[in-house]
Amino acid sequence: MAEHTLDTVLIEGLAVETVVGVYDWEREVSQRLLVDLEMAWNIRIPGASDDVADALDYAAVSERVSQCLQAMKPQLIERAAEEVAAMLQSEFGVRWLRLALHKPGAVPAARSVGVRIERGVRA
Protein backbone atom coordinates (compact mmCIF):
# COMPACT_ATOMS: atom_id res chain seq x y z
CA MET A 1 0.00 0.00 0.00
CA ALA A 2 1.39 3.38 -1.04
CA GLU A 3 2.06 5.84 1.74
CA HIS A 4 0.27 9.18 1.49
CA THR A 5 2.36 12.33 1.72
CA LEU A 6 0.55 15.01 3.64
CA ASP A 7 3.68 16.99 4.45
CA THR A 8 4.26 20.36 2.82
CA VAL A 9 7.19 22.67 2.34
CA LEU A 10 6.17 26.32 2.61
CA ILE A 11 7.54 29.49 1.10
CA GLU A 12 5.49 32.54 2.03
CA GLY A 13 5.77 36.13 0.90
CA LEU A 14 8.60 35.64 -1.59
CA ALA A 15 9.05 39.10 -3.13
CA VAL A 16 10.07 39.26 -6.78
CA GLU A 17 10.68 42.49 -8.69
CA THR A 18 9.81 42.07 -12.36
CA VAL A 19 8.07 43.62 -15.33
CA VAL A 20 4.41 42.57 -15.15
CA GLY A 21 1.23 43.99 -16.61
CA VAL A 22 -0.64 44.83 -19.78
CA TYR A 23 -0.48 48.62 -19.85
CA ASP A 24 2.33 50.42 -21.69
CA TRP A 25 3.61 52.07 -18.50
CA GLU A 26 3.73 48.66 -16.77
CA ARG A 27 6.06 47.31 -19.46
CA GLU A 28 8.58 50.06 -18.62
CA VAL A 29 8.89 49.58 -14.84
CA SER A 30 9.49 46.78 -12.36
CA GLN A 31 6.72 45.91 -9.96
CA ARG A 32 6.66 43.64 -6.94
CA LEU A 33 4.95 40.27 -7.03
CA LEU A 34 4.51 38.24 -3.85
CA VAL A 35 4.55 34.44 -4.08
CA ASP A 36 3.16 31.97 -1.55
CA LEU A 37 3.88 28.29 -2.13
CA GLU A 38 2.79 25.04 -0.52
CA MET A 39 4.49 22.00 -2.04
CA ALA A 40 3.83 18.37 -1.15
CA TRP A 41 7.04 16.72 -0.01
CA ASN A 42 7.68 13.74 2.22
CA ILE A 43 9.83 15.20 4.97
CA ARG A 44 10.35 11.92 6.83
CA ILE A 45 13.58 11.11 4.96
CA PRO A 46 15.28 14.49 5.52
CA GLY A 47 13.73 14.55 8.98
CA ALA A 48 15.57 11.33 9.80
CA SER A 49 18.80 11.99 7.89
CA ASP A 50 19.20 15.70 8.71
CA ASP A 51 20.78 15.97 5.25
CA VAL A 52 19.80 18.84 2.93
CA ALA A 53 20.39 16.55 -0.08
CA ASP A 54 17.25 14.63 0.99
CA ALA A 55 15.12 17.77 1.34
CA LEU A 56 13.30 20.06 -1.05
CA ASP A 57 15.77 22.94 -1.10
CA TYR A 58 13.57 25.97 -0.49
CA ALA A 59 16.47 28.35 -1.18
CA ALA A 60 16.93 26.80 -4.64
CA VAL A 61 13.16 26.81 -5.23
CA SER A 62 12.96 30.49 -4.24
CA GLU A 63 15.82 31.40 -6.56
CA ARG A 64 14.29 29.54 -9.53
CA VAL A 65 10.86 31.11 -8.95
CA SER A 66 12.49 34.55 -8.94
CA GLN A 67 14.53 33.78 -12.07
CA CYS A 68 11.47 32.39 -13.86
CA LEU A 69 9.30 35.44 -13.14
CA GLN A 70 12.05 37.93 -13.98
CA ALA A 71 12.83 36.25 -17.30
CA MET A 72 9.17 35.79 -18.24
CA LYS A 73 8.02 39.40 -17.78
CA PRO A 74 4.38 38.28 -18.02
CA GLN A 75 1.48 40.45 -18.99
CA LEU A 76 -0.95 38.44 -16.86
CA ILE A 77 -0.33 36.97 -13.41
CA GLU A 78 -2.44 34.01 -14.55
CA ARG A 79 0.28 33.10 -17.05
CA ALA A 80 2.96 33.66 -14.44
CA ALA A 81 1.24 31.28 -12.02
CA GLU A 82 0.89 28.54 -14.66
CA GLU A 83 4.52 28.85 -15.80
CA VAL A 84 5.92 28.80 -12.27
CA ALA A 85 3.80 25.77 -11.32
CA ALA A 86 4.91 23.85 -14.41
CA MET A 87 8.55 24.71 -13.75
CA LEU A 88 8.37 23.53 -10.13
CA GLN A 89 6.78 20.25 -11.12
CA SER A 90 9.26 19.53 -13.91
CA GLU A 91 12.50 20.79 -12.33
CA PHE A 92 11.97 19.86 -8.69
CA GLY A 93 9.64 16.87 -8.97
CA VAL A 94 6.90 18.49 -6.90
CA ARG A 95 3.81 16.29 -7.39
CA TRP A 96 1.30 18.75 -5.89
CA LEU A 97 1.46 22.45 -5.17
CA ARG A 98 -0.70 25.37 -4.23
CA LEU A 99 0.60 28.69 -5.48
CA ALA A 100 -0.72 32.16 -4.74
CA LEU A 101 0.58 35.08 -6.74
CA HIS A 102 -0.21 38.58 -5.46
CA LYS A 103 0.22 41.92 -7.18
CA PRO A 104 0.09 44.55 -4.42
CA GLY A 105 -1.16 47.98 -5.37
CA ALA A 106 -2.68 46.89 -8.69
CA VAL A 107 -6.09 48.12 -7.56
CA PRO A 108 -5.88 51.27 -5.41
CA ALA A 109 -8.76 50.29 -3.13
CA ALA A 110 -7.33 46.80 -2.45
CA ARG A 111 -4.20 45.81 -0.55
CA SER A 112 -3.49 43.22 -3.24
CA VAL A 113 -5.02 41.29 -6.11
CA GLY A 114 -3.94 37.89 -7.30
CA VAL A 115 -4.61 34.31 -8.23
CA ARG A 116 -4.36 31.00 -6.40
CA ILE A 117 -3.94 27.70 -8.22
CA GLU A 118 -3.43 24.06 -7.30
CA ARG A 119 -1.69 21.67 -9.64
CA GLY A 120 -0.95 17.97 -9.43
CA VAL A 121 -2.23 15.26 -7.15
CA ARG A 122 -1.67 15.33 -3.42
CA ALA A 123 -1.19 11.68 -2.61
pLDDT digits 0-9 by tens, 32-62: 999 999 999 999 999 999 999 999 999 999 9
Q: Which residues are catalytic?
A: 103
Kindly provide the residue ranges of all beta strands, DSSP E only, lying in the chain, ordered along the sequence: 8-18, 31-40, 96-104, 112-120
Helices (runs of H) and strands (runs of E) counted in the chain: 3, 4
Instruction: Report all structural domains of the chain as residue ranges with CATH numbers, in order of start.
Output: 8-120 (3.30.1130.10)
First CA to last CA across the chain, in angstroms?
A: 12
pLDDT value of position 5: 65
Q: What is the pTM of this model?
A: 0.91
State the average pLDDT for the chain.
93
57 near 63, Cβ under 8 Å? no
What is the rounded (10 degree) CA torsion for 23, 29, 30, 33? -20
92 three-state secondary structure:
helix
Q: Strand, helix or coil at 53?
A: helix
User: How many of the other CB atoms lie within 10 Å of CB of 37?
Assistant: 23
Quote the percentage of the chain above a pLDDT of 90: 86
Beta bridge partners of 106: none
Please give the Cα distance from 94 to 89 (Å, whole number): 5
- Cβ atoms of 82 and 90 within 8 Å: the answer is no
